[in-house]
Amino acid sequence: MAAELKKKTTKKIKLFINNREVETKPDSTIIQAADSLGIFIPRMCYFPGLTPPGSCRICQVEIKGMNKLELACKTQIKEGMEIFTDTDKVLKAQKSVLELLLIDHPLDCPICDQAGECILHDYFMKIGLYKSRFIENKVQKPKVQDYGKYIVYDGERCILCTRCIRFLDEVSKTSELALVERGNKTYISIFPGKKIDNPYSLNVTEICPVGALTSKDFRFKCRVWFLQSTPSICPGCSRGCNIFIDHFKNEAYRYRARPNMKVNKHWLCDDGRMTFKIIKDENRITSPMMKKDGKLNKISLQKAYKTIVDKFKALNKKDTKKIYGLASPFASNEDNYLFVKFMREIVGTENIDYRISDYSGFSDDILICKDHTPNSNGAENMGAIPGKEGKSFADLISPDNDSRIKILYVMDHDLLKIMGKEQFEIFFSRIDTLILQSSYPNSTVEYADIFLPTTLWAESSGTFTNGFKRIQEFSKALEPVGETKTHWEHFIELSKPLGKTFKFKTSREITREIAKNVKGYLRLSEGKIAERGVLVKK
């Protein structure tokens, strides 16, 4: 029965698009079928993941046996259907819709943020290219309307595709926008006194096909044709939403959602989108520091490494039991893997943990997960938990524990902030040497004996394992700032003078070793990780 059902649902159907015989999934609309086959059909109101209203009328196609043109976004495909997407009749209809949408459009492209990724602009070059026949006065509509924390609306640029309204109705389910007025006076508005106030508001500017809804954060910052896009993963929570980091001259300007049906579909949350701000955070420390006479001073990386090495070398074998390492759920699998390897194989301690705080926060049933770190699962899988006879962080800070700590090696965690000043200072009084290696701004730096500046996810490549055990890859978008290096590069530098050189040159090489050594990660050895990620094998 189950097999039969499966067979039924996977059976493909045959049809013809532009006389080309194609096979595709049943239960698709023409536009879905065409998309899956790489056949271009223009669209404005259609957006995957939202109910098509069929109102823009630009996706009309010809179907053999039908008198009128039909909407590709609304018409279900049928076995043997003969569809034409490029006949004169179709092209004329598309051109006419475009012309009609452009008559009242302000054509203020030189000052419009959407220029370069505007559907009107792109389609005009692709299917328009007519001489304007319109000589009337244009309709005037509300402009520069403040619709929310991040959102500005320009009614004259709006083509009333209603993608934004449908997103707020169907995905965020907050329905802050509605159509007001009628006919060619129609525009999109918020309700009196109510702004777009939901954790997903910036999706409306991203899916807006024209410059009607723009992001207050991004507008006027950079022309989009300058931007380069690098695929990455949002570090905001354990969902691991797939993103593009759009950057120019080594500066990130925005994220765009990278569709992944298994993870974030087509969306991102606003907090996630803003995580790139941390790259330029003024509190981020980008040079190595060392404490001398109670004061932190900049030193060279070499000096910092040497000091750390000397600290380790100064300890005798018995003392290794008093060395503790805190791995990071904010760092990549590769970083954590090498940290764990460094602590176990070189330092020789089993006192390793990553569970310093639960880092929990707001969550919902759309995207945002309770765990606000990107890689807790990965840190655990990489072995960042106490081994046999090892002590956990909870053991270490328990009130009846007053044992000395020879070295506490911390990745990323801001212990001062997590524990509070009073508790942290009691804890700190037990520590001989505090080594802190942090990507993020970190208030504990004032207490550190040695600080190593570290890159953020956007400045490195690697993998995260999200809260649903999906391993996903991110690529380096930006060159590291200052003297930052990746966590794993620091461990490579430290490994050599301590007698056992790690021979990794790229994060990919570490990934391959992870595939070999970490249970469930074998699929990473296949080389490139699938775009939608791979699941940790049970």
Say whether residue 55 binds another protein (CB under 8 A): yes
78 vs 92, beta carbon nearer another protein: 92
C-alpha 273/C-alpha 234 separation (Å) is 8
89: left (phi over 0), alpha (psi -120 to 50) or beta: alpha
Give the range of 135-143, 196-204, 268-276, 361-369 binding another protein by CB under 8 A: 135-143
226 binds another protein (CB under 8 A): no
Residue 57 near another protein by CB under 8 A:
yes
Q: Does 104 bind another protein (CB under 8 A)?
A: yes
| C-alpha distance from residue 217 to each of 78, 122, 125, 150, 256 (Å) | 45, 24, 29, 6, 13
State whether the Cα torsion 443-448-453-454 is positive or negative.
negative
Binding-residue total with another protein (CB under 8 A): 34
**Segment contacting another protein by CB under 8 A, of 136-144, 307-315, 355-363, 517-525:** 136-144
Which range in 134-142, 408-416, 515-523, 529-537 contacts another protein by CB under 8 A? 134-142
> Does residue 139 touch another protein according to CB under 8 A?
yes
Q: Please identify which residue in 79, 136, 293, 400 interacts with another protein, judged by CB under 8 A.
A: 136
- Binding mask 320-359 vs another protein (x if CB under 8 A, - otherwise)? ----------------------------------------
Shortest distance (Å) from residue 103 CB to another protein: 6
At its nearest, how many Å lie between another protein and the CB of residue 16?
A: 22
Least distance to another protein from the beta carbon of 204, Å? 19
Per CB under 8 A, does 53 bind another protein?
Answer: yes
What SS3 state is found at 401? coil
| Contact track, another protein, 430-469, x by CB under 8 A | ----------------------------------------
Residue 238: count of CB within 10 angstroms of its CB = 25
> How far is the CA of 487 from the CAs of 381, 518, 523, in angstroms?
17, 19, 24
Contacting residue, 40, 134, 191, 226, with another protein by CB under 8 A = 134
Q: Does 137 bind another protein (CB under 8 A)?
A: yes
Residue listed under structure tokens 């009846």: 400
Tell the residue number behind the tokens 């930052």, with chain if given.
484
Give yes or no for residue 81 binding another protein (CB under 8 A). Answer: no
Task: Give the C-alpha separation, 205 to 214, whole Å.
Answer: 5
82 phi and psi, to 5 degrees? -110, 110
Provide the β-strand partners of residue 247.
Answer: 228, 252
Using rule CB under 8 A, residue 510 touches another protein? no
Shortest separation between residue 168's beta carbon and another protein, angstroms: 15
From 69-77, 218-226, 346-354, 380-388, give the range in contact with another protein by CB under 8 A: 69-77
Q: What CA–CA distance (Å, rounded) separates 358 from 47?
A: 37
Instruction: Report the residue from 100, 418, 498, 515 that binds another protein according to the rule CB under 8 A.
Output: 100
Look-up: residue for tokens 């207490």? Answer: 447
Q: 28-34: which pairs have CB atoms within 8 A and are 24 or more residues apart?
A: 28/76, 28/77, 29/72, 29/73, 29/74, 29/75, 29/76, 29/77, 30/61, 30/70, 30/72, 30/73, 30/75, 30/76, 30/77, 30/83, 31/59, 31/72, 31/73, 33/77, 34/72, 34/83, 34/85
| Binding segment (CB under 8 A) for another protein, from list 67-75, 79-87, 322-330, 457-465 | 67-75
Q: With respect to another protein, which residue has the nearer C-beta, 98 or 347?
A: 98
Q: Shortest gap between Cβ of 66 and another protein (angstroms)?
A: 12
Closest CA to 184 of 135, 140, 126, 246: 140
126/421 with CB nearer another protein: 126
Q: Is residue 97 near another protein by the rule CB under 8 A?
A: yes
Measure the CA–CA gap between 188 and 210, rounded to whole angstroms: 14
What is the smallest separation between the CB atom of 33 and another protein, expressed in angstroms? Answer: 18
DSSP 53-67: ---S-TTEEEETT-S
Query: Would you count residue 538 as binding another protein (CB under 8 A)?
Result: no
Residue 24's nearest CA partner among 16, 32, 13, 34 is 13
Among 34, 77, 90, 93, binds another protein (CB under 8 A): 93
User: Residue 194 Cβ, how far from another protein at the closest point, in Å?
Assistant: 18
Instruction: Tell me how far, at minimum, the Cβ of 76 lies from another protein, in Å.
Output: 10
* Residue 58 touches another protein, criterion: CB under 8 A: yes
Query: Would you give the distance in Å from CA 505 to the centre of its chain?
Result: 26
Q: Is 56 in the site for another protein (CB under 8 A)?
A: yes
CB of 17 to another protein, least distance (A): 21
Q: Does 72 bind another protein (CB under 8 A)?
A: no
Phi/psi-derived region of residue 498, left when phi > 0, alpha when psi is between -120 and 50, beta in every other case: alpha
Q: Looking at 183-191, 261-269, 403-411, 425-433, which segment touches another protein (CB under 8 A)?
A: 183-191
Helix (H, G, I), strand (E, B) or coil at 324: strand
Q: Quick one: the chain helix, strand, coil %, rounded to 5?
A: 30, 20, 50
Q: Which of 276, 283, 216 is nearest to 252 (CA)?
A: 276
Q: Which residues in this chain contact another protein in the complex, by CB under 8 A? A: 53-58, 60, 68-69, 71, 74, 92-93, 96-97, 99-101, 103-104, 133-134, 136-137, 139, 159-160, 179, 181-186
